Amino acid sequence: MQISESKRLFAKAKNFIPGGVNSPVRAFRAVGGEPIFIKKADGAYLFDEDGNSFIELINSWGPMILGHNHPMIREAVIEAMSNGTSFGAPTAKEVEIAELIVSMVPSVEKVRMVNSGTEATMSAIRVARGYTGRDKFIKMEGHYHGHGDSFLIAAGSGAITMGHPDSPGVTEGTAKDTLLAPYNDLDAIENLVAANYGEIAALILEPVPGNMGLCLPNPGYLQGLRDICTREGIVLIFDEVMTGFRLARGGAQELFGVIPDMTTLGKIIGGGMPVGAYGGKKEIMEFVSPAGPVYQAGTLSGNPIAMAAGLTMLKYLNSHPEVYSRLDEIGMQIATGISTINAKLGYDFTINQLGSMYSLFFTEEDVIDFESAKTSDTGLFGKYFQAMLKLGVYLAPSQFETLFLSTALTDELIGKILQAHEESMKEIFN
């Protein structure tokens, strides 16, 4: 029997790359089997090294709102590359994309470009500490803000997927300044504020968390956080690396009408290229060097290729509001279809959906926070993942990752996804 090219590549990769992958969830350990190595992507499809094609519902973990390899983005990148790949110096496109972000995101009056969402969140916490003169910050259990030391305390995403929410290498001193609260619990925030009065610089959260699977904020929760932070002089930071420009033109803060002091962004503003950003109120952002004393730098920040791709993407989203109505429609079609099929088959599993993000949890409990998300049957999810993969639908290889939809999904493809779901559910329960 001839070994598949993906198996050959994975076996080789393990000799040179820790675990054979460059990001933990890709290893497929949470769902069984071995990872598929991707050769190319186009529209709603991934194509692997063995010539197989898959309808995929991850879209590079969010940024491919318009689908993969969109001609508009591709042409912008090719044009930018004709002038060089990196300058380490200012460019006109940096100014243009910064102006566009400020016009689109309600909380952002000034913005600094960086290279990843992790870099954005690390920098935002540092700026908040510098601005307030305080050391501690609050994060929510199960929320993932990248792999910075301070954030790997009860973290979501790959941390919980791999079974290690607290990482070795994070010092006790670092952990001591990270205060934890359950999502959707305002009383817990009030208690932390009282117990650490005058010491809390920032409160950071995913306004719509996607790294423990998709959870939705309870009515009034985000506004309650805003009120507490305003009262206590705490910098409220929305991590919109996933939700920014996806749930609405101005992100979750526009959708819910709650404006943070700072926002972290990523993924979509690079049109698929490595990029991130953090921004906020002018008086806070003026603390960033060289305007102020808080140092942050990066040779590849504002990289001309990433800026060209991101600027093209954001201009399109800014001028085509119909994208968001179509994304909402696609998300609703899939979530409603899955719920209908599950009810017909007699399974009362939970599905959370907002716009073009959704998660199917293999639990009958309402999933509103980290603890309820963890009631999911991850073994069942693994079987479901493999069954869907066999039928040509590529899901995120973890129960605790949100799925991201694109406008490349036609009604015909949605029908195929729902048919695969029904066949997969019958397979794993028969």
Eight-state DSSP code of residue 14: T
Measured between alpha carbons, how far is 430 from 417 in angstroms, rounded to an integer? Answer: 20
Measured between alpha carbons, how far is 401 from 112 in angstroms, rounded to an integer? Answer: 28
Residues 6+ apart with CB under 8 A from 238: 107, 204, 205, 206, 207, 251, 252, 253, 260, 262, 263, 264
267 is known as an active-site residue: yes
Packing angle of the helix pair 411-429, 322-345 (nearest 10 deg): 30
- How far from the centroid of its chain's Cα atoms is residue 144's Cα? 8
Given 110, 136, 267, 383, the catalytic residue: 267
Q: Report whether 243 contacts 355 (CB < 8 A).
A: no
Q: What sign for the dihedral angle of Cα 317, 323, 327, 330?
A: negative
Using omega within 30 degrees of 0 as the cis cutoff, is the peptide bond preceding 290 cis? yes
Give the pLDDT score at 23: 87
Given 48, 177, 239, 369, the catalytic residue: 239
For domain 5-69+321-429, the CATH class is alpha beta
User: For the domain 71-319, what is the CATH code?
Assistant: 3.40.640.10
Give the pLDDT score at 154: 56
Q: Which two tokens stand for residue 233?
A: 């002089």
Spans of all domains in the chain: 5-69+321-429, 71-319
Give the pLDDT score at 158: 46
pLDDT tens across the length of the chain (430 residues): 468 999 999 999 999 999 999 888 888 988 988 999 999 999 999 999 999 999 999 999 999 999 999 999 999 999 999 999 999 999 999 999 999 999 999 999 999 999 999 999 999 999 999 999 999 999 999 898 987 767 776 554 444 444 444 666 676 777 788 999 999 999 999 999 999 999 999 999 999 999 999 999 999 999 999 999 999 999 999 999 999 999 999 999 999 999 999 999 998 898 889 999 999 999 999 999 999 999 999 899 999 999 999 999 999 999 999 999 999 999 999 999 999 999 999 999 999 999 999 999 999 999 999 999 999 999 999 999 999 999 999 999 999 999 999 999 999 999 999 999 999 999 999 8
239 is known as an active-site residue: yes
Q: Which of 59, 69, 78 is nearest to 304 (CA)?
A: 78
144 is known as an active-site residue: yes
Measured between alpha carbons, how far is 266 from 326 in angstroms, rounded to an integer? Answer: 22
Q: Which two tokens stand for residue 262?
A: 């700072």
Which residue type does 267 have?
Answer: K
Measured between alpha carbons, how far is 146 from 167 in angstroms, rounded to an integer? Answer: 12
Which residue type does 9 have?
Answer: L
Q: Which two tokens stand for residue 330?
A: 């696609």
Bridge partners for 38 per DSSP: 48
Q: Report whether 185 contacts 219 (CB < 8 A).
A: no
Measured between alpha carbons, how far is 342 from 362 in angstroms, rounded to an integer? Answer: 11
Q: Report whether 278 contacts 127 (CB < 8 A).
A: yes
The count of C-alpha atoms lying within 13 angstroms of the C-alpha of 190, restricted to the half-sphere facing its C-beta, is 7
Bridge partners for 180 per DSSP: 139
Alpha helices, DSSP H, located in 265-350? 282-285, 304-319, 322-345
Q: What share of the chain is helix, strand, coil (3-state, %, to 5)?
A: 40, 15, 45
| Cα–Cα–Cα angle for 72, 273, 78, rounded to 5 degrees | 45
Measured between alpha carbons, how far is 281 from 100 in angstroms, rounded to an integer? Answer: 16
Given 45, 93, 139, 144, the catalytic residue: 144
